[in-house]
Structure 1
């Protein structure tokens, strides 16, 4: 009797930890995109200017990407349970500060805190899942973890749009509190502490220089438009910091035998090429969401909830294609899947070039679904390509850099499309306004109200043209990396964990 009760208790603890780890993965991912469809409500509530909107997303992603490489060292030094629970507490504090923010600076600071905490939650959740499940199920749990993470990113706009429209923008953060509470209880009660008996060395200098390079570049891209680029001393400081950071990191990699990213990662052709292409994957994945929802709301007049619903088919197509591609037999040439995925993404973005103020919702759904299917094929196919020729001892570091490339691709992509959007809007506004004569139309002088209405129409048309230009930029980015598929070698199935046989 006691044995049966013990088995029941162990099973309860086991499945509670699995559920909590997957829920933590979903929670940190959904908070990337949940402000997307509600961004106009956030903007109005905090008096944000248009060029500050991108910070809502890039601050969260960039902070998480900088902290993520520290996860393994922190868990070994202080224990995975302690680090996980502290990260969860900091994440929850970030949620509270999001709802209390009264200014854009306060809100972005809260997002940075929240994003930094998410940088350890995701990899620790994966580590807990791998520890709780037998090795034979590691392949499937890898797929489940990836699907859960993408489901969070892709369901965020629909959830945030509905909450923002009917309950106010603060509700998009309230929804995470019950999830955080369940995760805290499950991990606090059932997760056993685990530390390394021997403290591992961590390359803080390499991590610091790499982070300074990335942070400087991100700040320069985010602040450049507002500060009039190199007319501002701030932009010069950020640019110089980025250059020095990357220079020191490259010198460090070339001259030291040990650092937090092993040299073998940079000399492996398949891994290097796939990582560059995964950067382009991230460059398209989130910036498309960052452009689509504001376009639907601000330019086409859809309410926030409808704008969120219209993004759902893209997510469904992405997840369906991901699952089907992951189940593809290993004897099938993986490079063909990459080519098909690239083609679908480029074609989906090409269809976006036909967007018009007169269209209904169908072109957005069709183009998004096609692009989503292509992205869904690329994620598992590029993962196979990256790890097919990489030796097992380098997989841990390889996984960190591979995931960082997607995160950095997304955050830099958001910054780049924001820059070109506002720059193109201004230039198109000037080009269209040059064809107008504000003095007389039909013999009658235009009133101030009529001039304001005309200016609003011109601004709307210029914004539509600018948005289409950004979709073109995303298409070009994918076309640029497409020839790299020719450099990939056919994967060796035995080296890739979690690939369907």
Structure 2
């Protein structure tokens, strides 16, 4: 009589028990596994906000840096420009480096580099030193932004990616608004060097969390397109130099600006030729066959202009025309951040309920355009309420655009292209921001001159007024003082008209981008059978 084998029975029983991986539905599996997703999210977002803050935190400290670094008002702006140019040039490298050395290793290295560069910036004793250290800081920051977005999508299943993008988007959109506030407070109460030292403890905490919990994508050995990257780097650098130097060189009246523009155009042309003909191009050509991603890149240009140009215009307007101190001006910009946070949360909830993201993007753009229209009616005599209301409303509009746009752009894309796609989206936003600042600043200067001459036509000739005995008797002999006061009023009115013209231009740009919504395809809803890409961990 045969006897039962107890070991075989136990093996049978264990085989019938589903593993943890099998017990989780396919649509609920993330591409990357981590043992503590909430803590890793905190670490990733702290790193993201840290580097985003540094794009604007130094703005209000420039006058103090100028004295400490023995710089002029023209040269000290390289503290900002060097960071922007270095970041823009390095962003396209993110996808290739992540494949080559691993996304985990690149992220950890970027955080370490950013912390060291921040410390060196705080220790800088001359402008050349500061520019070099800011370049290093910008390169490290360039990798952190795309990698953080990729990690947030990879560690969350499709059903939670909208919420993950809401969290990531809050940091991206609110960071630049908080930068001037924090920078102003640190500069007023401590020293401008603390705008950089503050990154050190935060960066160390981020590194420890990422070291313990951050998984990695597979390492893929692929060739590097050195010619393509070189052409792209030259194009971005020449374009940024043209934007920075254009205002002081009277734009295309200068051969320098013409040269920089032609170099940028020729380099960009050679880059695209290389992109579509090389065996191993800088970006995978499959990215440019994805309609949603290309449309998302176009929208990011517009968002870069709206976010960055608005933040470049409002602080000097609030300080110079309305007389608000730096800290108060920063606080008046915060309702914009509150609106963004609130609408991003709402957008995440609507995405969970399968609301069409294209409808949210279009609605958000209409709301943002309405807020800009309302801003064209501002006057010099108004109080703080219009700044608060329009900022909050504009934040709601931008928040409704950002999350659905990212989900739509990545929703039809193979997960293995996420890092490269994120690099393209961030590069587009950076270029839009740089171009937007230069355009609105140039238009502001020219429109001030135009408005001043038009308003000045209604004021009598100062020479005739000064010699008029009737006027002299009325002013008690202080005719020159009265004329100076009248000229100051004309200057303020002209500046106000120029600011309103810039707001009108941005409103037109926002409305003009709305038809792009019709190019977007609605991503398919997550369903059973959607197999995620499983990636090895280091």
**TM-score strictly above 0.5:** yes
Q: Pick one of 491, 503, 518 that aligns with 1:471.
A: 503
Structure 1 residue 466: deviation in Å? 1.6
Cα deviation per residue 1:84-131 (whole Å; 9 max; x = unaligned)? Answer: 454334433543454456777765554433222201123344556677
The answer as to whether partners of 1:164 and 1:305 remain within 8 angstroms in 2 is: no
Q: 1:240 to 1:224 in 2, by over 3 A?
A: same
Partner of 2:525: 493
Residue 481 (structure 1) shift: 1.1
Distance in 2, matches of 1:471 and 1:55, equals: 27
Query: 1:37·1:308 contact (CA, 8 Å) conserved in 2?
Result: no
Structure 1 residue 37: Cα displacement: 5.3
**8 A contact 2:48–2:145 mirrored in 1:** yes
Moved more, 238-247 or 70-79: 70-79
Matched, 1:367 2:390: yes
1:245 aligns with 2:267: yes
Q: CA–CA distance in 2 between the matches of 1:97 and 1:140?
A: 36
Q: Distance in 1 between matches of 2:43 and 2:417?
A: 28
Structure 1 stretches lacking a partner, 5+ long: 1-10
**Is the contact made by 2:159 and 2:526 (CA closer than 8 Å) also made in structure 1?**
no
Q: Tell me the distance in 2 between the aligned counterparts of 1:389 and 1:85.
A: 29
Distance 1:174 1:447, change over 3 A: farther
Is contact 1:54–1:414 with CA below 8 Å preserved after alignment? Answer: no
- The 5-angstrom pairing of residues 166-181 of structure 1 reads 166-181=189-204
Provide the residue aligned with 1:204 in structure 2.
226
**What is the CA–CA distance in structure 2 between the aligned matches of 1:489 and 1:75, rounded to whole Å?**
28
Q: Which residue of 2 aligns with 1:255?
A: 277
Q: Provide the C-alpha distance between the structure 2 equivalents of 1:267 and 1:152, rounded to a whole number of angstroms.
A: 32
Shift of 1:464: 1.8
List runs of 5+ in structure 2 lacking aligned partners: 1-33, 533-538
Is 1:289 matched up with 2:311?
yes
1:484 is matched with which residue: 516, 520, 528? 516
Q: Return the alpha-carbon distance in structure 2 between the equivalents of residues 429 and 106 of structure 1.
A: 41
The structural deviation recorded for 1:492 is 2.2
Contact 1:90/1:117, CA 8 A, preserved across alignment: yes
Could you say what the CA RMSD is over the residues aligned between the two structures, in angstroms? 3.5
Stretch deviating more after TM superposition (279-288 or 39-48): 39-48
Give yes or no for contact 1:67–1:116 (8 Å, CA) kept in 2.
yes
The answer (yes or no) to whether the contact 1:325–1:377 under 8 Å persists in 2 is yes
Indicate the residue corresponding to 1:433 in structure 2: 456
The 8 Å contact of residues 206 and 260 in structure 1, kept in 2 or not, is answered as yes
Alpha-carbon spacing, 1:230–1:399, altered in 2? closer, same or farther (3 Å): same
Of structures 1 and 2, the larger Rg is shown by 2
Q: Do residues 406 (structure 1) and 429 (structure 2) align?
A: yes
| Superposition map of 1:67-86 within 5 A | 67-78=90-101, 83-86=106-109
What is the 5 A alignment of 1:102-251?
110-126=133-149, 140-187=163-210, 190=212, 199-251=221-273
Cα displacement string for residues 168-193 of structure 1 (whole angstroms, at most 9, x for unaligned residues): 444333322321232345556x3689
